[in-house]
Structure 1
């Protein structure tokens, strides 16, 4: 009996060590993406002539628009503000020499998709970046204290991804190739208190993308969900870039090196390492009242409210 127990424990220990070794080797792909799964310069252009980017007026969407144009694609920019779209389009055309088409659309509305589909007719679309999104509140807050515009957020963060994919994927399937990048968030990979609605909406993007890849990977279409942590954008109130918070341009440039690595990515090495460390912390730690109260105390509006109550 003792010999059997010793053999069993040895087998379990060896299995754990083997799993750890495999995981370490697997994680090396994020350090050397250009060696592990190289993306040739011609890869993006080989998908098709045009790339469509939603929420292209600023932040991550604008950065994807510039970077894909630099890599040889004509771009379709879709966003709400026409003046901003025209400005970004002009900048891209001057910087890259590529053709740029703009479509004004408010993704908080559901009556926009027929017009978008008509505007895209006749274009060979090889890449779709579902980037448009909105926060329910600029700062972390409890559900009942947040904005009441839940329907706008659901339309913008969730319905837009489904509808735009539906419109564009048809021709990708017929051509047996295409790339769809769905921009979610790291807070969509776990239940995130104080960002309840936003976290849930990005969880939809996360699971939608992974299920869709299973359905269509045999059709030659790459569907990847990108789940960044901190990126300096107007939506996040433009924090100063640092080791963790990346500029939109730097983040997008690095994330495009990861498009062939897997069906999900945090988008850059810094965020992959951060996610690895956070996975060792039990979820209940983040869900304690003390952690939530500590986060809320860091918010200027919450401080003012507490001062008034005292």
Structure 2
């Protein structure tokens, strides 16, 4: 009888533990669903007034792509814009048309580290553009924000920085710097009134991505900037839009980090890169 009682106690205990475990994961899943709904859907209707962070916005990489789209969208929302770019002619054109966004990757695209075109110069350029400029621009503007006890810094990272990415090794490494730098900075300065948001998008149709065709997975720069700015005030780390958030979830489930680092995956990526390069070359010949 005693043995039966002990077994019953163990069974009851395991049932309780199992019940709490199911409840925990149910609540966790429900919270993530609510968080995603609030950040990527309801934010369309609960837009944060960006002017509460200040009247002026400094946008780097402002002459094209995501940077230009951010500048245009910020201007539409009533902010005065300071444009920063390496190209004076493009800068003037952008200013007439009318975020810490600077980014540089390999050209034409995926490549082994030692096969980066013009590596002596290109490696330094990528590090300076993706890391040094972010840190130095932050150093310049952050003190004034702290003095006023308000401000917003938006750093553009990349989904490529979520895990090590073979064939994009250097670019991926520089983007995880942006992510960690932003998250650490937000922890340091959010109590002082300064919000630091990190945006980690998938593909956006820009010059850097060879102006990919826009579809359900690839956003135009304008649409992406609009949706990403809606997430300000709702999340300090975001994929920028619902489409990219869903892609991130799918990638984590079906293409985890260990699989991306496997030798078979690297070989397949190499073959894909070779076919993509051949397609680009054929397209170039037809245009000529």
TM tier, smaller: 0.7 to 0.9
Paired residues for 1:165-244 under 5 Å: 165-244=138-217
Report if the CA contact (8 A) 2:44-2:227 is conserved: no
Match of 1:56 in 2: 62
Question: SS in structure 1 opposite 2:253?
Answer: coil
Task: Give the Å deviation of 1:10.
Answer: 4.2
Q: 2:157, 2:134 → 1: CA distance?
A: 10
Residue among 238, 251, 258 paired with 1:284:
258
* Structure 1 residues 23 and 145: alpha-carbon distance in aligned structure 2, compared to 1, 3 A threshold: same
Residue among 36, 60, 75 paired with 1:69:
75
Aligned length: 267
Report if the CA contact (8 A) 1:297-1:303 is conserved: no
| Higher helix proportion | 2
Residue among 161, 186, 202 paired with 2:134:
161
Match of 2:282 in 1: none
CA RMSD, aligned part only? 2.1
My pick for the range that moved more, 6-15 or 284-293, is 6-15
Match of 1:126 in 2: none
Q: 1:88, 1:36 → 2: CA distance?
A: 28
The Cα offsets for residues 78-136 of structure 1, whole Å up to 9 and x where unpaired, read as: 111111111111010xxxxxxxxxxxxxxxxxxxxxxxxxxxxxxxxxxxx11011003
Q: 2:54, 2:216 → 1: CA distance?
A: 35
Task: Give the Å deviation of 1:298.
Answer: 2.1
Q: 2:198, 2:226 → 1: CA distance?
A: 16
Paired residues for 1:38-49 under 5 Å: 39-40=46-47, 43-49=49-55
Residue among 101, 115, 121 paired with 1:131:
101
Question: SS in structure 2 opposite 1:277?
Answer: helix
Match of 1:30 in 2: 36
TM-score normalized with structure 1 length: 0.80
* Structure 1 residues 25 and 253: alpha-carbon distance in aligned structure 2, compared to 1, 3 A threshold: same
Report if the CA contact (8 A) 1:138-1:236 is conserved: no
Q: 2:226, 2:52 → 1: CA distance?
A: 18
CA radius of gyration, larger in = 2
Match of 1:246 in 2: 219
Task: Give the Å deviation of 1:24.
Answer: 3.1
Question: SS in structure 2 opposite 1:182?
Answer: strand
Report if the CA contact (8 A) 1:135-1:153 is conserved: yes
* Structure 1 residues 25 and 157: alpha-carbon distance in aligned structure 2, compared to 1, 3 A threshold: same
Q: 1:37, 1:23 → 2: CA distance?
A: 23
TM-score normalized with structure 2 length: 0.86
Return 5+ residue gaps in structure 2 as ranges: 1-5, 279-288
Q: 1:91, 1:268 → 2: CA distance?
A: 25
Q: 1:17, 1:279 → 2: CA distance?
A: 23
Report if the CA contact (8 A) 2:43-2:231 is conserved: no
Report if the CA contact (8 A) 1:37-1:261 is conserved: no
